[in-house]
Structure 1
Amino acid sequence: MELPYFITWSKQKAPTTLELSKNSPHAFHIVEGSTYRPHLKKIVDLSSMSYQASFGLRNKMITEAIKKQMSLFSIALPKHTFDLKKEVSLRLIEKAKRYSPQTGKLSKDYKCFYTLSGSEGIENALKMARQLTGKNIILARKKSYHGATMGALSVTGDWRNDEHLLPRQWTVRIPGPEEDPKGEGIERIILKHGSNKIAAFCLETITGGNGVYIPHPLYYKKIQSLANKYKIKIIMDEVVCAVYRTGPFFGIDHYPFLKPDFIVCAKAISGGFFPIGCVLVCNKLSKRYDDKILSCGLTHYAHPLGLSAIKATLDLTEQRSFQKHADEILMILTEFARDLSFRGFKVRHIGHLMAIEIQDKLTIESLIENGIYASIIRENLILAPHLNTPIRLLKSSLKTLNKLLSK
Structure 2
Amino acid sequence: MLKPNDLETVTRWDNENFVHPWEGMGSIGENDRTFVEGGEGVYVVNENGERLIDGPGGMWCVQIGYGRDDMAEAIADQARQLAYFSPFNNTNSVSSRLAHEIAARTPGDLNHVFFTTGGSTAVDSALRFIQFRNNLLGQAEKKIVISRHKAYHGSTYLAASVSGKERDRLWLNKVDGLTHFLPDVNPMHRADGTSMDAFLEEKVQDLENAILKLGADKVAAFIAEPILASGGVIVPPPGYHKRCLEICRRHDVLYISDEVVTGFGRLGHWFASEDVFGITPDIITCAKGMTSGYVPMGAAIISDRLIADVSGDASRGATFSNGYTYSGHPVSAAAALKNIEIFESEGILEHVRAVTPLFQDRLKALGDHPIVSDARGMGLMGCVQCFSGDEDSLERDYALGGMIDDHCQANGLILRPIINMCVFSPPLVINEVQINQMFDILAAGIQAAADALSKG
Q: Same fold (TM over 0.5)?
A: yes
Q: Which amino acid aligns with 1:251?
A: A
TM-score (norm 1): 0.90
Residues 13/138 of structure 1: CA separation in 2 closer, same or farther (3 Å cut): same
Contact persistence 2:123–2:159 (CA under 8 A): yes
| Matches of 1:131 and 1:54, distance apart in 2 | 34
Q: Which residue of 45, 53, 72 maps to 1:44?
A: 53
Task: Give 1:10's aligned residue.
Answer: 23
Q: Which residue of 155, 169, 174 maps to 1:166?
A: 174
Task: Give 1:318's aligned residue.
Answer: 344
* Structure 1 vs Structure 2 CA RMSD: 2.0
Name structure 2 gaps, 5 residues minimum. 1-11, 135-139, 191-198, 389-399, 449-456
Contact persistence 1:235–1:260 (CA under 8 A): yes
Q: Which amino acid aligns with 1:71?
A: R
Within-5 A mapping of 1:110-189: 110-133=111-134, 134=140, 135-158=142-165, 159-178=167-186, 180-182=199-201, 183-189=204-210
| Matches of 1:231 and 1:193, distance apart in 2 | 13
Task: Give 2:427's aligned residue.
Answer: 386
Deviation at 1:359, TM superposition (A): 3.0
Q: Which amino acid aligns with 1:77?
A: S
Deviates more, 1:333-342 or 1:278-287: 333-342
Deviation at 1:369, TM superposition (A): 1.7
1:54 has 2:37 as partner: no
Deviations 1:348-395 (A, max 9, x none): 121111111123454232322222111111222112111112443332
| Matches of 1:3 and 1:59, distance apart in 2 | 32
Contact persistence 1:359–1:380 (CA under 8 A): no
Task: Give 1:105's aligned residue.
Answer: none
Q: Which residue of 26, 29, 34 maps to 2:42?
A: 26
3-state SS of 2:17 partner: coil
Within-5 A mapping of 1:6-405: 6-11=19-24, 12-31=28-47, 39-78=48-87, 79-98=89-108, 108-133=109-134, 134=140, 135-158=142-165, 159-178=167-186, 180-182=199-201, 183-254=204-275, 257-287=278-308, 288-290=310-312, 291=315, 292-343=318-369, 345=372, 346-360=374-388, 361-363=400-402, 364-405=405-446
Deviation at 1:289, TM superposition (A): 3.5
Deviation at 1:232, TM superposition (A): 0.8
| Matches of 1:221 and 1:141, distance apart in 2 | 16
Q: Which amino acid aligns with 2:30?
A: A
Deviation at 1:343, TM superposition (A): 4.6
Deviation at 1:208, TM superposition (A): 0.5
| Matches of 1:25 and 1:337, distance apart in 2 | 22
Name structure 1 gaps, 5 residues minimum. 32-38, 99-107
| Matches of 2:277 and 2:408, distance apart in 1 | 38
Deviation at 1:308, TM superposition (A): 0.6
| Matches of 2:38 and 2:29, distance apart in 1 | 26
Contact persistence 2:55–2:426 (CA under 8 A): yes
Q: Which amino acid aligns with 2:378?
A: I
Deviations 1:183-205 (A, max 9, x none): 12221211211111111111111
| Matches of 1:260 and 1:252, distance apart in 2 | 7
Task: Give 2:451's aligned residue.
Answer: none
Q: Which amino acid aligns with 1:392?
A: V
3-state SS of 1:21 partner: strand
| Matches of 1:141 and 1:324, distance apart in 2 | 32
Contact persistence 1:48–1:54 (CA under 8 A): yes
Task: Give 2:5's aligned residue.
Answer: none
Residues 187/109 of structure 1: CA separation in 2 closer, same or farther (3 Å cut): same
| Matches of 1:281 and 1:366, distance apart in 2 | 44
Q: Which amino acid aligns with 2:325?
A: T
Contact persistence 2:401–2:421 (CA under 8 A): no
Deviation at 1:321, TM superposition (A): 4.1
Deviation at 1:233, TM superposition (A): 0.9
Please say which structure displays the higher CA radius of gyration.
2
| Matches of 2:103 and 2:93, distance apart in 1 | 15
TM-score (norm 2): 0.81
Residues 228/21 of structure 1: CA separation in 2 closer, same or farther (3 Å cut): closer
Deviation at 1:24, TM superposition (A): 2.9
Contact persistence 2:352–2:428 (CA under 8 A): yes
| Matches of 1:289 and 1:29, distance apart in 2 | 50
Higher helix proportion: 2
| Matches of 1:153 and 1:91, distance apart in 2 | 30
| Matches of 1:349 and 1:256, distance apart in 2 | 14
| Matches of 2:381 and 2:270, distance apart in 1 | 13
Deviation at 1:255, TM superposition (A): 5.0
